């Protein structure tokens, strides 16, 4: 038992742990019961219970047709930065291919994302559109790291979702 680090390791069975788990094993009780016994009458104060965060159930995604419509309108309102265009050219893509594939730059900054999301929410229900979420003020915003937005299309050319090629991987 190392009393400075509060760790032990049994050299016979290889079992590691701390003073609580050691006491629990020696007494044949649970770790919770061992902690209660060891803390009883001591100067050690328990941490307050951790507040449980409200877990929101996952929203079902909108249909492919609706996602395609929202993403297409969004991409029509975005540009591709010169740095991102040059990056794609270095990867062997032509300007024609870049435009045809509708590569765009992710809006940088919270205010740009809020503005874009607000504009889209005036014409489309963003609930269930992956990438969009309601912020603390109840307005819509767009999630994701800075980078190149890459539309992910099905065999019919409909945009199923967007991938982000991050600037700082």
pLDDT, tens only, 122-149: 999 999 999 999 988 889 999 999 999 9
Distance between CA 3 and CA 66 in Å, rounded? 61
70: domain CATH number is: 3.90.980.10
- Residue 132 pairs in a beta bridge with 142
| pLDDT for residue 11 | 81
Average pLDDT over residues 1-20: 83
Q: State whether 44 and 90 are in the same domain.
A: no
| pLDDT for residue 85 | 97
| 134 in any annotated domain | yes
Please state, in angstroms and as integers, the Cα–Cα distance from residue 37 to each residue in 20, 26, 157, following that order. 9, 13, 65
Q: Does the pLDDT at position 49 exceed 90?
A: no
82-128 confidence digits (pLDDT tens): 999 999 999 999 999 999 999 999 998 889 999 999 999 999 999 99
Q: State whether 37 and 95 are in the same domain.
A: no
Query: Is the Cα torsion angle 115, 119, 122, 124 positive or negative in sign?
Result: negative
Mean of all residue pLDDT scores within the chain: 88
| pLDDT for residue 50 | 64
The domain total for the chain is: 2
- Residue 164 pairs in a beta bridge with 149
Q: State whether 6 and 78 are in the same domain.
A: no
Q: Is this structure's pTM higher than 0.75? A: no
Q: State whether 87 and 145 are in the same domain.
A: yes
Distance between CA 72 and CA 154 in Å, rounded? 14
Q: State whether 68 and 5 are in the same domain.
A: no
Distance between CA 37 and CA 50 in Å, rounded? 21
146 contacts 108 by C-beta, under 8 angstroms? yes
Contacts for 162 with CB less than 8 Å, ≥ 6 apart: 71, 131, 149, 150, 151, 152
- Residue 27 structural domain: 1-51
Q: State whether 133 and 81 are in the same domain.
A: yes
Q: State whether 72 and 12 are in the same domain.
A: no
| pLDDT for residue 149 | 96
Q: Which two tokens stand for residue 41?
A: 């009458």
């Amino acid at each position: 038992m190392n009393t400075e680090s509060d760790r032990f390791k049994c050299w016979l069975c290889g079992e590691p742990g701390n003073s609580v788990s050691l006491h629990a094993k020696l007494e044949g009780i649970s770790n919770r019961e061992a902690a209660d016994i060891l803390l009883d009458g001591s100067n050690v104060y328990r941490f307050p219970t951790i507040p449980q965060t409200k877990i929101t159930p996952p929203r079902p995604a909108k249909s492919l047709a609706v996602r395609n419509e929202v993403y297409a309108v969004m991409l029509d309102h975005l540009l591709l930065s010169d740095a991102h265009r040059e990056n794609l050219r270095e990867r062997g893509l032509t300007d024609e291919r870049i435009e045809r594939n509708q590569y765009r730059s992710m809006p940088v900054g919270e205010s740009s994302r809020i503005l874009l999301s607000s504009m889209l929410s005036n014409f489309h229900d963003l609930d269930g559109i992956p990438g969009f979420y309601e912020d603390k003020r109840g307005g819509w915003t767009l999630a994701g790291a800075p980078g190149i937005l890459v539309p992910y299309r099905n065999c019919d050319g409909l945009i199923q979702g967007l991938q982000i090629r991050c600037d700082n991987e």
